[in-house]
Every structure is written in C-alpha cells, then in structure tokens.
Structure 1
Amino acid sequence: MLSRRCGVLGDPIAHSLSPTLHRTAYAELGLDWAYDAHRVPAGGLEEFVSGLGPQWRGLSLTMPLKREALALVDRSTDRARLAGAVNTVVLEDDGTRVGDNTDLPGAAAAIRERTSAPLATAVVLGGGATATSTGLALAELGVGSVELLVRDASRAAETVAALRSHPAGIDVRTGSLDAPDALVADIVVSTVPAGAQTSALVERCAAVPVVFEAVYDPWPTPLAASASGRTLVGGLDLLVHQAALQVELFTGRPVAVELLRDAGERALAARNPG
C-alpha cells in the first residue's frame, strides 16, 4: 500500500503547529501518514510542487504562498476563488491539483464557537491573505461593513477587491493603523504580527466587544492580553477548525476539533513553560 505524505509549506515555518495537529489526527484515524513542515519562500512553490511524487496527498499553505498557489492548481473551489487564495491543495491520484481555502469556513466556525452575538460591523487589522479570508468569513456571518486598517492602502488592494466581490455586497473601507481615533465595531480581527501591536493600537481597540486574534504564537499577543472581560477568539481556534477541514479533505474522514485543540494547547505549553 502506498504510504501517504502531506505537509505544511511557508516561510517562516518552524513555528507551525500544523505538523502536531495533523499527526495527531492521522494517529486517531489509524493512518500511517507522514506530515512535515517545509520552508518554501515566495516564488518557490511551483518548483516544490513539481518535484512531488505519487505518495503525496495534501499540502497546507501559509504565508507567503496562499495567493501564489491559486495559479498553480488545476481546479479551485468557489471559496478559494472568492478569497483569491489557496491554503489547501489536495493532490489527486491522477495528478490533478485541487485548491481550496479552509481559512474562510474555519474562521467562521471559530467565531461562532465563542459567540452567538449578532455581528454587523467589523474592523480588520492588516490587509493580506488572512485578512481576506477572515473578512469573507465575517460577511458569511452577516457583517455588512468592514474597515481594513493598514499602513499602505495599495498593498491591501487585492483584499479590498475580494471583500467587495462577496455576493452580500458588503461595504469595505480602508483606514490607517496609526490613526489615533478609538475604534467602534462589533468585532475587531487582528492579522498583524504581535510586534506591530503597539500600545496605542491596542488602546484603540479597547471598546470593541469581540476580539479575534489570528496569531497563536507568541501567546498572548498584546491585543489578546487586553481582551479580559470581552469575548476572545484565538489563533488556535482558527487553526484547529481549518485543520480539521483539511484533514477531512486529505483523508475523506472527519476528526474532532477538540482532539486537535488539546494537542495544540499541549504543544504551546511545552514551548512556553510557566
């Protein structure tokens, strides 16, 4: 029987919890599959994929490869095309590459796991591929107005276009990460690194009742640490929900989200003892 291989690709990649989550899932399913992390810089995805053998079944993609991957698949799902980004590639036995985006449904599920509150307005910090998928997830949950806070509006053009293309016809605006005004919204989503979360930016978010921090390591980020008393959706929540969807796409079998969360929490605790 052909032994299967899967992996996560990106740059940087050493921090990724995906190997822990997928290996846990495969063990639970009784599958002797391999899953490893591979450092692949921007522009290197095509070379990596072209060298894969028939034992390869699936790829998880992280920054900076999600948008690059869209042009390299033979077929893509509606949600991948809507996001303009692929974070999951299923390698069929006939060589067909199928691109999907599990970040979008994963983000929606992560939010709804933590809150059932109605969401109409949102602020998203950052304008990259993760901002796109989470913004689209918010639109799926009923958000009709999204403000993207960025340092360079031109770099968020793809995200703005993707959000405006959502069938719900949401209102999308851009603003500055460095502006001084307090933010007013039902939810704030951060897709920026912890190091970019200045005290001034964190203070701007203080009145927003739901905080979604897409980063899971380091944890807590300044924004997450400030969310005491408010609803907090963490990066691990997003990671485990999208990973469970990936596992099912790769193997054809479901796995419990809680199993993956427990594995992720143990791995993070081992990285950051005390």
Structure 2
Amino acid sequence: MTTRRLAVWGDPIAHSKSPTLHGAAIRVLGLDWEYGRREVDADGFSAALRGLDDSWRGLSLTMPLKEQAFRAAQTHDRHAELTGAVNTLLLNAAPSGFNTDVGGIIDAFAENEVTGAARARILGAGATAASALVAVAEMGAHSIDVRARRPERTQTLRALGERLGVEVTVCGFADQIGPVDVTVATLPGGAVLERTAAFAEHGGILLDVAYAPWPSALAEAWTTEHVISGVAMLLHQAVRQVRVFVHGDPVDELDDEATVLAAMRTALREPAPS
C-alpha cells in the first residue's frame, strides 16, 4: 500500500509547527501517512499543485497561498466560501477546500470558557481578519469593531458583515475606543500600538493569533482580562485539519480525539525536529 502524503506549504515555511502537530496526530491514529513541509510562493503554487501524484492526501496552506488554494478548490465549506480563503485542501478528483481557522478561533475561546460575545473587536484587517469576523459572529457578536491602519481598504470586511447580518464599524487605531467583550488581534507578534493601554482597558478577553515571539507586545500590556495565545488557535485549527484529512469533514470528530488532542498539545511543548 502506498504511503499517503501530506504537507504544509507557504512562504516562508521553516517556522511552521504543522509537521509537529500533524505528526503527533498521525502517530496516535496509527496511520501510514507522512507529513512534510515545502516552501511554495504564490507564483509557484499552481505548478506545484499540478505536480502532485495520487499518493497525496491533502495540504495545509499558510500565507501567502490561502487565496490561491481557494481558487484551486472545486468545492468549499461554508467558512471558506464566506472568507474566500482556504487553509486546507483535500486532494481528490475534485479538490475540496476548507477554512479551519474560523473553527480554530471559536475552539480556542471555548477552551478558555468563552462561548459567547455580544460585542467584539478585531485588530487588523489582513487575511486572518475575515476568519476572525466570521468566528465572533458565530459566537453571537452583533456588533464588531474593526481597527485598521487603512480603514478605506476594508470593503470586503464590511461586505462580509452585511452578509452575516452583523454591524461592522471600521475605524483607525487612533479613533475613540469603546468597551467590547472579546478582542481578536490579527497583527504581527511584534506589532506595537500607540494606544495599547486603552485597547486593553476596554478590550475584554484577548485572543492574539500571534504566538512567536510570545508574549507579544500586545499580550504583555493586556493586564485587565484573560489573554489567549495564538498557539490555542493553531492547535485547534490543526485538529480540524486532521478531521478533514481523515474523514473529509472538519466537524466529524476523530476516534479518541481527546488522546489525539493531548498528543498534539504535548508535541507543541517539545522541541521541533530539524
């Protein structure tokens, strides 16, 4: 029997923890699969995808490939369709695209006993912001405050809010700051905000998708409420990816998923193999 192959693609990719996470899950599940990594940029994505043979089961995609993967998929799950981003490709006759980042954000909050939020704030308007917006909307947020350095370039987030039936306001970082229940920061880990103290004071519980370096500058300043590291999102989106690779469905739980999750969590704390 041919070993099934999986990998994470992106540029850069050497820092990725996906091989560590997925390798731990594969060992617990006893699968004859291997999971690697490959540096692929946006220009090279289509050719690299065409070059895969039938031994390939799926791909995890990171920046800057999520939009290219969306276009390559012939079917999309709801989260991918809403965000226009695919971070998981199930390779078959008709490649299927999934966005597990949305569920990863929801699961990261739930793990920390946060299952609902009426008001939310998203810091940043890059690729992850759309996933964050869908996530907090599904958690019950009816009012979402998006903070962007260039508010005029956030039309897609405004349109997404209209589609989801939630109120999305877009402001600059220097504008007035009101209270919210949760904040999702989608900024680079080293980003420093001039008004961090005000965002922390009125920001509720923080999920910072950044995890390297940790704590981020934002997390260090967030002293008023609980702070959730991006490692939690990374872990839970990866569990949903494993579900896709095993069952073809990000919500179909794995056999003995608690053991799989524990092994993946332990692997994150261990030095990654070179």
Give the TM-score, by structure 2 length: 0.89
SS at match of 1:248: helix
Task: Report the CA distance shift for 1:117/1:46 in structure 2 as closer, same or farther (over 3 A).
Answer: closer
Q: Could you say which residue in structure 1 is the equivalent of 2:251?
A: none
Q: Could you say which residue in structure 1 is the equivalent of 2:205?
A: 210
Task: Report the CA distance shift for 1:12/1:204 in structure 2 as closer, same or farther (over 3 A).
Answer: farther
For the pair 1:173 / 2:177, whether they are aligned, the reply is no
Q: Could you say which residue in structure 2 is the equivalent of 1:130?
A: 128
Give, in whole Å, the separation in 2 of the partners of 1:65 and 1:157. Answer: 21
SS at match of 2:161: helix
Displacement, 1:149? Answer: 0.9
Q: Could you say which residue in structure 1 is the equivalent of 2:236?
A: 241
Displacement, 1:186? Answer: 1.0
Give, in whole Å, the separation in 1 of the partners of 2:153 and 2:65. Answer: 16
Aligned mate of 2:149, from 145, 148, 151? 151
Give, in whole Å, the separation in 2 of the partners of 1:267 and 1:146. Answer: 38
Displacement, 1:238? Answer: 0.4
In structure 1, the gaps of 5 or more residues are none
Displacement, 1:216? Answer: 1.4
SS at match of 1:12: coil
Task: Report the CA distance shift for 1:88/1:39 in structure 2 as closer, same or farther (over 3 A).
Answer: same
Determine if contact 2:185/2:207 at 8 Å carries over to the other structure: yes
For the pair 1:194 / 2:192, whether they are aligned, the reply is no
Displacement, 1:99? Answer: 0.3
SS at match of 2:237: helix
Letter aligned with residue 263 of structure 1: A
Identity %: 37
Displacement, 1:222? Answer: 1.0
Give, in whole Å, the separation in 2 of the partners of 1:159 and 1:59. Answer: 26
Q: Could you say which residue in structure 1 is the equivalent of 2:35?
A: 35
Displacement, 1:260? Answer: 1.4
Q: Could you say which residue in structure 2 is the equivalent of 1:219?
A: 214
After TM superposition, the structure 1 stretch with the greater mean CA deviation from structure 2, 224-233 or 45-54, is 224-233
In structure 2, the gaps of 5 or more residues are 248-253
Give the TM-score, by structure 1 length: 0.89
Give, in whole Å, the separation in 1 of the partners of 2:115 and 2:246. Answer: 34
Aligned mate of 2:267, from 263, 268, 271? 263
SS at match of 1:194: coil
Give, in whole Å, the separation in 2 of the partners of 1:86 and 1:117. Answer: 24
Task: Report the CA distance shift for 1:61/1:154 in structure 2 as closer, same or farther (over 3 A).
Answer: farther
Displacement, 1:148? Answer: 1.2
Give, in whole Å, the separation in 1 of the partners of 2:115 and 2:21. Answer: 29
Letter aligned with residue 76 of structure 1: H
Task: Report the CA distance shift for 1:71/1:24 in structure 2 as closer, same or farther (over 3 A).
Answer: same
Displacement, 1:10? Answer: 1.4
Give, in whole Å, the separation in 1 of the partners of 2:222 and 2:244. Answer: 34
Give, in whole Å, the separation in 2 of the partners of 1:44 and 1:157. Answer: 28
Give, in whole Å, the separation in 1 of the partners of 2:39 and 2:198. Answer: 35
Letter aligned with residue 10 of structure 1: G
Determine if contact 2:191/2:218 at 8 Å carries over to the other structure: no
Task: Report the CA distance shift for 1:156/1:48 in structure 2 as closer, same or farther (over 3 A).
Answer: farther
Q: Could you say which residue in structure 1 is the equivalent of 2:9?
A: 9
Displacement, 1:160? Answer: 2.8
Displacement, 1:154? Answer: 4.0
Displacement, 1:118? Answer: 4.1
